[in-house]
Amino acid sequence: MSRLSVRRRRRGFTLVELLVVIGMIALLAGLGFPAYRSAIASAQSTQCAANLRLIGVALTQAASDNDNQYPAIVQDAGGSTGTAGDYTGTGVTPTDLFDALSPYGITEATLKCPSDNGQVGYSYPYTVNGKNYTSSYEWNPIFDDEVVTSPVVYVNGQMVIPMNSSRVRLCTDFNAVHHGHVNALYGDGHVKKR
C-alpha cells in the first residue's frame, strides 16, 4: 500500500478578517476610553480632596501654635502679584500658604491639584525666597487671624455673624477643574465638592 502524504497548508488571515479584528478592537477601545477618562478624573478629584485634608490638618496644627487662631494667609505675601491686603497697624504678619504651612509638612506637591493642567488662571503664582511656585488652592482671607472654634464674619469692619466651623470654607480649588466643580476645605476638616 502506498502511503499518501497529506500536506497541511498553513492558512494565514485574509485581509478582510484582519480588518474585522482591527475594527472590533477599535470599537472596544472607543467604548472603554470615556470610562477610563472618567476613572482618571475621579482619581484626580480624590487626590485633590486628600491634599485639602492635609492642608486642613496643617491649618489645625498652625492654629494650635497660634493661640487657636488661623494664620493670616495671602496668596502672595512677598511677590508683586499678591493681594496682601492692608495689615498696617494690626500686628499681623501675613504670609503665603506655603510659608505658613510648610513647617507642618505641606509641600509643593500638596499645594498642586492633580487636575490643574498649568493653564493661566488655574493656579496662583507666588514666590518664596526668590523661587517661583504655584498653588492650585485659594485661601479665603475672611478668616485670617480668626479663632478656629468660633470664627466671625466681618463686613465693613462690623461683626456680622459668628459661624459654625463646619460652614466656614477655608480653602478651595483656584478654578473649577473637577467637571465644573471645586473641592472645598471647611473649618471642621471635611472636604466637599461644590
Asked if residue 59 is part of any domain, the answer here is yes
Asked if residue 65 is part of any domain, the answer here is yes
Asked if residue 8 is part of any domain, the answer here is no
- Number of compact structural domains in the chain: 1
Q: What does each C-alpha distance from 148 to 78, 104, 185 come to in angstroms? A: 25, 17, 14
What is the grid cell recorded at 30? 472607543
Asked if residue 29 is part of any domain, the answer here is yes
pTM here?
A: 0.69
Q: What is the pLDDT of residue 91?
A: 56
User: Torsions phi, psi of 142, nearest 5?
Assistant: -60, -30
Asked if residue 4 is part of any domain, the answer here is no
Asked if residue 6 is part of any domain, the answer here is no
Asked if residue 10 is part of any domain, the answer here is no
Those residues whose C-beta lies under 8 Å from the C-beta of residue 66, and which sit 6 or more positions away, are: none
Q: What is the pLDDT along the chain (194 residues), one digit of tens a residue?
A: 445 555 555 677 788 888 999 999 998 888 888 888 888 888 999 999 999 999 999 988 988 888 888 787 776 544 433 444 455 555 556 677 888 888 998 888 888 888 877 665 556 666 655 666 677 888 876 665 555 656 666 666 666 666 677 777 888 888 888 888 889 998 888 898 88
Q: What is the pLDDT of residue 167?
A: 76
For 165-190, the DSSP string reads GGG-EEEEESS-TBTTB-EEEETTS-
Domain span at 179: 15-193
Q: What is the pLDDT of residue 100?
A: 83
Q: What is the pLDDT of residue 47?
A: 93
Asked if residue 5 is part of any domain, the answer here is no
To which H or E segment does residue 103 belong? none
Q: What is the pLDDT of residue 53?
A: 93
